[in-house]
Amino acid sequence: MKKTILLVCALVAGAACAEFKAGFARIEATPPLGIPLVGYFSHRVSDGVLDPLYIDCVAVSDGTNNALIYCVDDLHLTNPFMEKAFPAITAATGIPRDRIYVHATHIHTGPADWKRGGFSEEENRLVMSFADTRVKKMAEVAKTALADMAPAKIGIARTVCRNISFIRRYRMKDGSVRTNPGIMNPDVKEPLGTPDETLQLVRFRRTGAPDIAIVNFGVHPDTVSGTKYSADWPGVLRNTFEAAVGDGVKCLFLNGAQGDVNHHYRFPPPGRAALNAERKARPRAIALHMGRALAGAAMSIWDVCEEIPAGPVRGLVAPHPMPANLPTADQIKWVEMFDAGRKNEIPLGHMEIMTLTSPGSRVRRLKNGPDHFDILVSSLAIGDSLAFAGVPCEPFVDIGRAVKVRSPFRMTVFTCLTNGSEGYIPSTKSHSEGGYEALSSRFAAPTGDKLVDAQLEQLATLKGTTR
């Protein structure tokens, strides 16, 4: 019996001391023209390319278990698309679903990933054809990243990047709540919250291969718009960082909690006002500004990362039931008024009316229930110090901040739109305040609090602790 115990201990010790490895791969995934772009209420069809779109993949291994961390240039990857992608990636790599972590940056100049009722037959054919192509590319880039793995040490660091992320929800002087009420709007009273300006950096220092950076920051990438493909400021960030650091270093970006923050100053200083005006002549002007600022912040801590121990790689993906945001009697009445041509009688702003009355709106979809939906929460850990906490939605800043602060890991990289897409998740307080996001979300309060608890429970399980 004693020999058996000693043998088990030796095996566990060997696994714990196995050499950690990391690899990187990137593949271009710019779609053909003619595919609709997603992110607004209007129908936009791609007619050009401002800059290419990519799929990045970092592969990690503890010597026994491998995991994949993806960054995909797109608004989101819907649940049907992910249900097609997961088995293809597993078939190509042997890596199970609970260790596949796929993040979309939330650019508003990327292609639709699945067919829609509002698209033409030809548009849907192009969309689904490119969906098949992108799934194949995701499997291909994973195999390349695994082949690129080299021994690595892990470093982490944090800093702040100020005046890049701004709360976009405001209380107006009349007591109402509005999202993006317009620059220099004199009716704005106060912002509803504070942005999280923390930038987190993970550095994999590799032996015999270029280092890898993972940069994490939360803000909407919606500075370009238009009808041409663009990776927006996340693309500028990675390009600027890699060019400035040099030595073949590769950079993968993971967007954080961004549901209630974007790049708009309400009352911009003179220099920023000029930049806003320049955007008309130079569509990527603000993207360049934001990407360079974030790259500079990341570079400021690149050489002072604190080394942390590696360890077992493990993941956990689990569904959690959340309450549905069922429409009120007033909301149902307003949709009926809109359909009857009485839009001017509805006591809401234009953005709110569009939210409630669009063909796929929450009110139309949830008029007859159901009373809850499952949200798939994804967690990935490397050793006892580093974790990745992903949710398939657009969470408000306070949700991501709560997970990072309360996590049992030294650094927790919180990411939106991971392994699926479920729309906005306001914090519980924000839900009661109303506004565009609360009107559009199919999840009711207190989903924000429940989502934090679900992620913390999974992180505690991976850590081997209890809450």
**How many CB atoms lie under 10 A from the CB of residue 115?**
16
Model confidence pLDDT, tens digit, residues 180-224: 998 889 999 999 999 999 999 999 999 999 999 999 999 999 999
- Checking if the pLDDT of 466 tops 70, the result is no
Query: How far apart are the C-alpha atoms of 48 and 34, rounded to whole Å?
Result: 9
Q: Which residues of 350-372 are buried (b: 16+ CB within 10 A; e: fewer)?
A: ebbbbbbbbeebbbeebeeeeee
Please give the full DSSP string across 187-199, using - where no structure is assigned. Answer: TEEEESS----EE
Burial 400-431 (b: 16+ CB within 10 A, else e): bbbbbeebbbebbbbbbbbbbbbbbbbbbebb
In angstroms, the CA 60 to CA 78 distance is 25
The mean per-residue pLDDT over the stretch 152-162 comes to 98
pLDDT value for 298: 98
| Largest separation between any pair of C-alpha atoms in the chain | 82
In the block, residue with structure tokens 């940056």: 105
Enumerate the β-bridge partners of residue 69. Answer: 58, 101
Residue 236: its pLDDT value, please?
98
Mean pLDDT, all residues of the chain: 93
**Reduced to 3 states, what is the DSSP secondary structure of residue 316?**
strand
* Choice among 78-92, 326-340, 383-397 with the minimum mean pLDDT: 326-340
User: For the whole model, what pTM was predicted?
Assistant: 0.94
Q: Which of these ranges, 112-121, 146-155, 426-435, has the smallest mean pLDDT?
A: 426-435
pLDDT more than 90, % of the chain? 84
Say how far residue 61 (Cα) sits from the centre of its chain.
23
Residue 294 has pLDDT above 60, yes or no: yes
For 170, the 3-state DSSP assignment is strand
Closest CA to 418 of 70, 137, 179, 3: 70
Phi and psi, residue 429, nearest 5°: -65, -45
Residue 443 near residue 321, CB atoms below 8 Å: no
CA angle (378 as vertex; 372, 383 as ends), nearest 5: 150
Q: Residue 279: what pLDDT?
A: 79
Residue 122 is given by DSSP the state: H
304's tokens: 């002072």
DSSP codes joined into one string, 215-233: EEE-----S--SSEE--HH
Please tell me the distance from the alpha carbon of residue 127 to that of residue 111, in angstroms, as a whole number. Answer: 8
Q: What is the pLDDT of residue 452?
A: 98
pLDDT (0 to 100) of residue 17? 52
- Mean pLDDT, residues 141-151 taken together: 98
CA separation for the pair 157, 444 (Å, rounded): 35
- Short-list 327, 364, 366, 330, CA closest to 346: 330
Mind listing the pLDDT tens digit for each residue in 436-461? 898 889 999 999 999 999 999 999 99
The b-or-e profile of 19-54 (16+ CB within 10 A means b, else e) is ebbbbbbbbebbbeebbbbbbeeeebebeeebbebb
At 341-352, the pLDDT tens digits run 999 999 887 778
Q: Kindly state the tokens that stand for 130.
A: 């490119």
The helix/strand/coil state of 31 is coil
Locate the DSSP E strands across 324-385: 372-382
3-state secondary structure of 402: helix
- Given pLDDT bands bounded at 50, 70 and 90, which one contains residue 234? very high
Does residue 288 have a pLDDT over 80?
yes
14-49 pLDDT, tens digit per residue, is 444 579 999 999 999 999 999 999 999 889 999 999
Please give the pLDDT value at position 424.
Answer: 96
Inter-helix orientation angle 350-357/329-339, to 10°: 90
